[in-house]
Amino acid sequence: MIPEKDLLSIEVATLYYELDQTQQEIAETLNISRPTVSKLLKHAKQQNYIQITIKKPVEAIHSLELRLKEKFGLEDVRVAYANHATCDATYVLQLLGKEASAYLNEVVQHRMKIGISWGETLYHVAKELQQKQVEEVEIVQLKGGMNFIQANTHDQEIMMRFVQNFHAKGQYVPLPIVFNSVETKNALLAEPQFHLIHEKMGTVDVAIYTIGEVSKESLLYKTNVISEHEFALLSKQAVCDICSRFIDKNGEIVLEELNERTVGISLEALKNVPKSILIANGESKLEGIKTALKQKIPNVFITDSMTALKLLEQ
């Protein structure tokens, strides 16, 4: 027979842990003092009537990774644990950079070509890179640069850090991201040296890139690479850009004429890269991330825990 004290401690524990009552509320309900409630809770723990399991972040994160892999048919997923209540955006990007760096060191081997994009997210990846001794690696930019204009894309610093980290050769793309006309772009790409650079984008073994928002904060808008008219149309139709290719919620290219003037790897080519790695996070990018994953553009996804949870909720 269970002692009366044990029965009362079980009742107190039930009210406290299952019904979320405060100790004061329990004291009033059972007509006992608050110190007695505290003692009964302690007694219930001592008698093993209460068993508290705290799921460690490592286990929880692994569960998120597995669920994302299954939901979107991905080869691999890496999730960085980030408490957004205590972490600012820059710190979260640092965490993502560490995850991406660790993953790259797992997959990069001798004689590989690594394709890289640019921007703030990739800059944090570059800053977190860990040295790996590999031979005959080549780093290839996946789209035109913006060093022709005043813009903080970090494209040259990202390239430099990747080249140094993997003891690699670097292939810059000495062309603007968007030409004023298709004819000018095609004329330049017809030149053997530029044609070779452009073709090399589609032969990379690993590609790492992010998603851009369609907003007036985007570099493409701030630097007048796209016109006001184009931006107005993109704002209505596009959910994101991937390597400066704007797509709608169905994964279709928005503004084909703009796309034709853009220098960079195509989305079809990205789909065919053996390790096509999307690194992206944030509520403002959720729609774009979801579209990219559904369209099977990446086969590897790196994000933070809050973004992962929101993707799984949808």
pLDDT in tens, 214-235: 988 777 777 777 889 999 999 9
Task: Tell me if 201 sits within 8 A of 264, measured CB to CB.
Answer: yes
Please tell me which residue, 149 or 227, carries the higher pLDDT value: 227
Is pLDDT larger for residue 252 or for residue 5?
252
What CA–CA distance (Å, rounded) separates 77 from 63?
11
What integer is the mean pLDDT of 282-291? 94
Rounded average pLDDT over 263-292? 96
Query: Can you give the pLDDT at residue 60?
Result: 85
Least confident of 14-28, 45-59, 272-286: 45-59
- Residue 277 clears pLDDT 90, i.e. is over it: yes
Strand segments, DSSP code E, in the chain are 76-80, 113-116, 138-141, 169-171, 206-209, 211-212, 240-242, 245-247, 275-279, 300-304
CA–CA gap between residue 63 and residue 224 (Å, rounded): 43
Task: Evaluate if residue 294 carries a pLDDT over 80.
Answer: yes
| Confidence at 56, pLDDT banded by 50, 70, 90 | low
The three-state secondary structure class of 299 is coil
In angstroms, the first-to-last Cα distance of the chain is 50
Which tokens go with 49? Answer: 């009537």
Rounded Cα gap, residues 252 and 178, in angstroms: 19
Q: Kindly tell me if the per-residue pLDDT of 186 is higher than 60.
A: yes
Q: For the segment 15-34, what is each residue's pLDDT rounded down to a tens digit?
A: 998 888 999 999 999 999 99
Residue 258, pLDDT score:
93
Residue 225, pLDDT score: 79
Section 147-162 average pLDDT: 74
What pLDDT score was predicted for residue 116?
A: 97
Summary count for the chain: helices (H), strands (E): 15, 10
Of the candidates 116, 121, 205, 133, which has an alpha carbon nearest to the alpha carbon of residue 168? 133
**pLDDT(152) > 80:** no
Helix residue spans in 108-166 (DSSP H): 120-127, 155-165
Rounded distance between C-alpha atoms, residue 264 and residue 154, angstroms: 17
Q: What's the CA dihedral at 77, 78, 83, 84 to 10 degrees? A: -70
Residue 71 banded pLDDT, cuts 50, 70, 90: very high
> Quick check: 109 pLDDT over 90?
yes
- Give the mean pLDDT of 170-194: 91
DSSP 176: B
Is-contact 169 140, C-beta < 8 A?
no
Q: What is the pLDDT of residue 55?
A: 61
Q: Is the pLDDT of residue 1 over 70?
A: no
Q: In angstroms, how far apart are the furthest CA atoms of the chain?
A: 92
Secondary structure of residue 142 in the 3-state scheme: coil
Task: Say what percent of the chain tops pLDDT 70.
Answer: 95
Reduce the DSSP state of residue 231 to 3 states and report it: helix
Name the residue among 112, 118, 111 with its Cα closest to residue 160. 118
Of 141-150, 171-180, 239-248, highest mean pLDDT: 239-248
Provide the pLDDT confidence category of residue 3 given band limits of 50, 70 and 90: confident
Grouping H, G, I as helix, E, B as strand and the rest as coil, residue 143 is strand
Kindly report the average pLDDT of the chain as a whole number: 90
243 compared with 1, residue with greater pLDDT:
243
Nearest to 268, CA basis, from 278, 276, 256, 280? 276
Residue 175 amino acid letter: L
> Span 99-126, mean pLDDT?
95
Residue 31: its pLDDT value, please?
92
